[in-house]
């Protein structure tokens, strides 16, 4: 078998079958994980399926936070699916395959415009990550690779259908293979692509607002031995960005992760952050994370930091008692004068 027939034969089948198998496993364990976590949080059964819908529809908090960017992201993802599925050339390949499947295609001009949209938006996302300082500091190499690998099959597809680079001998004879290989790389990447929420240790106060806002129970926390420990389960994350949008300290960050290992860690939940808890000076109860109290201490009194809510009430009671006439009578103060 020569290289050309391997690429358009065995390679493509391996890619498609791997994608279908991986996505099936991921969906099964995604639902298993969110149904388990939903039971623990006592949510209704249909909520788990509504969450899955939220993965596809832009009706959530991210829209109000960054409406322009969110709309562009949805346009990008819609085109990512529509172009390869409804392009006439791809449908013709399925028709010629052993399955002989066929369906209606979209007009070539539509496909051309959508392809250009994907390429243009990918370039915009890339430049945005490089130019915006905060975004650049929060980006990993994988974040850049994801954009490039996603855009490559669209770019090579456009070059192939328009013979753009045919004046260069290498591309005129190899563009077909380059397009299939880049498409295969994108499909495999999509299968093993996970989101990873990171809590910036310099900014995070351990307030747990991200945990409360997370619709899938991906982020969980527990207080244990003077520590608040945050854990994360990558199979549950739908990359909705609610944690990022909710975090009052801009400490929650979403990263991409392409990982074969993560795929096999089907039921894993691992620690992503631990924060020391403050101890009440009166009763010894653990009542809030130390970084959060430090932050509050910039605004509130010292008393607020040293005592838990219950003992603060007791302190107020003590204070009122000291100010009361009965207390003063006991101390022989004459109010009649």
Contact residues for ligand SF4, defined by CB under 6 A? 195, 197, 199, 204-210, 213-214, 216, 218-219, 237-243, 247, 249, 251-252, 254
In order, the DSSP letters of 94-112 are HHHSTT----PPPPHHHHH
Residue with Cβ nearer ligand SF4 (157 or 241): 241
Q: Considering beta carbons, is residue 63 or 239 the nearer one to ligand SF4?
A: 239
Tokens of 245: 């949008």
Nearest to 48 by CA among 26, 62, 74, 30: 30
Closest CA to 103 of 114, 112, 94: 94
CB nearer to ligand SF4: give 186 or 214.
214
Nearest to 38 by CA among 52, 48, 28: 48
| Smallest separation (angstroms) from ligand SF4 to the CB of 171 | 39
User: Minimum Å distance from CB 257 to ligand SF4?
Assistant: 12
Q: Which residue, 22 or 195, has its beta carbon nearer to ligand SF4?
A: 195
Please identify, using beta-carbon distances, which residue of 156 and 197 lies nearer to ligand SF4.
197
Distances (CA, A) of 251 to 181, 204, 275, 280, 323: 38, 5, 14, 26, 43
DSSP letter assigned to residue 41: T
Phi, psi (deg, nearest 5) at residue 72 = -60, -40
Of 260, 240, 243, residue with least CA distance to 251: 243
Minimum CB separation from ligand SF4 for residue 167, in Å? 46
CB of residue 223 vs ligand SF4: minimum separation in angstroms?
A: 13
Shortest separation between residue 199's beta carbon and ligand SF4, angstroms: 4
CA 305 to mean position of chain CA atoms = 34
Q: CB atoms < 10 A from the CB of 309, how many?
A: 11
Return the number of the residue (38 or 206) whose C-beta is nearest ligand SF4.
206
Instruction: State how far the alpha carbon of 271 is from the alpha carbons of 26, 95, 198, 229, 251, in Å.
Output: 21, 49, 11, 7, 16
Shortest distance, CB of residue 273 to ligand SF4, whole angstroms? 7
State the nearest-atom distance from the C-beta of 252 to ligand SF4, in Å.
4
Q: Which one, 77 or 282, has the nearer CB to ligand SF4?
A: 77
DSSP one-letter code for 252: E
**33/178 with CB nearer ligand SF4:** 33
Residue of 194, 218, 209 whose CA lies nearest to 244: 209
Is residue 218 within 8 A of residue 237, CB to CB? The reply is: yes
Smallest gap, in angstroms, from Cβ of residue 134 to ligand SF4? 15
Cβ burial of 241 (10 Å; 0-12, 13-18, 19+) is: buried
Rounded least distance, CB 235 to ligand SF4, Å: 11
């Amino acid at each position: 078998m020569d290289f050309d027939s391997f690429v358009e034969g065995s390679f493509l089948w391996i890619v498609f079958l791997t994608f279908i198998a991986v996505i099936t496993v991921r969906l099964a364990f995604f639902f298993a994980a969110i149904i388990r976590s939903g039971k623990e949080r006592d949510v209704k059964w249909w909520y788990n399926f509504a969450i899955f819908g939220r993965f596809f529809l832009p009706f959530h908090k991210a829209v109000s936070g960054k409406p322009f960017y969110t709309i562009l992201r949805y346009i990008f993802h819609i085109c990512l699916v529509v172009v390869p599925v409804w392009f006439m050339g791809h449908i013709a390949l399925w028709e010629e395959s052993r399955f002989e499947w066929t369906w209606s295609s979209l007009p070539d001009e539509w496909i051309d415009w959508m392809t250009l949209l994907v390429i243009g938006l990918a370039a915009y996302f890339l430049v945005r990550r490089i130019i915006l300082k905060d975004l650049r500091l929060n980006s990993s190499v994988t974040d850049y690779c994801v954009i490039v690998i996603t855009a490559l099959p669209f770019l090579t597809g456009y070059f192939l259908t328009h013979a753009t680079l045919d004046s260069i001998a290498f591309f005129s004879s190899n563009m077909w293979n380059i397009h299939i290989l880049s498409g295969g790389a994108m499909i495999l990447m999509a299968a093993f692509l996970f989101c990873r929420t990171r809590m910036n240790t310099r900014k995070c106060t351990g307030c747990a607002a991200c945990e409360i806002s997370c619709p899938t129970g991906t982020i969980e926390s527990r207080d244990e031995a003077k520590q608040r420990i945050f854990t994360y389960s990558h199979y549950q994350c739908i990359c909705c960005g609610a944690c990022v949008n909710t975090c009052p300290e801009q400490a929650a960050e979403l990263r991409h992760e392409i990982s074969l290992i993560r795929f096999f860690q089907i039921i894993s939940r691992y620690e992503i952050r631990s924060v020391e808890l403050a101890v009440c000076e009166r009763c010894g109860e653990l009542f809030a994370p130390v970084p959060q109290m430090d932050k509050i201490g910039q605004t509130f009194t010292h008393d607020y930091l040293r005592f838990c809510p219950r003992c603060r009430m007791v302190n107020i009671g003590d204070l009122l008692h000291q100010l009361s006439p009965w207390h003063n009578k006991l101390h022989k103060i004459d109010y009649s004068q």
